[in-house]
Amino acid sequence: MSNVFSADEVVNLAKAQTSRMFHPFTCANRGDDNHRNVFGDTGALVPTVRGWICPFCDYTQGWAHGVMKGGEA
């Protein structure tokens, strides 16, 4: 399985998630009782080289806005 994001992109996405400059990506299931406020918002997703993951359920997302990925880590 190939990586969705590079290591540098993961760093940039993590910074963007918590910078408050962008509305953080959040889980589609964030409304249920298992989802808590970490990494910037309720059910905010965590970037990994395999794509976004939800810390609280099995939701994943394999894309991000280019503006969030860009720049040197």
Question: What residue ranges bind Zn ion (CB under 5 A)?
Answer: 27, 29, 54, 56-57, 59
Dihedrals φ, ψ of 67, to 5°? -65, -30
Shortest gap between Cβ of 27 and Zn ion (angstroms)? Answer: 3
In the bound state with Zn ion, the residue whose beta carbon lies nearer, of 11 and 57, is 57
Please say which residue, 22 or 59, places its beta carbon nearer to Zn ion.
59
DSSP per-residue string spanning 32-68: STT--EETTEETB-EEETTEEE-SSSS-EE----HHH
In whole angstroms, give the CA distance from residue 45 to residue 51. Answer: 10
Give the nearest distance from C-beta 71 to Zn ion in angstroms.
Answer: 27
- Least spacing, CB of residue 38 vs Zn ion, in Å: 11
**Residues found in the chain:** 73
- Of 18 and 29, the one with the shorter C-beta distance to Zn ion is 29
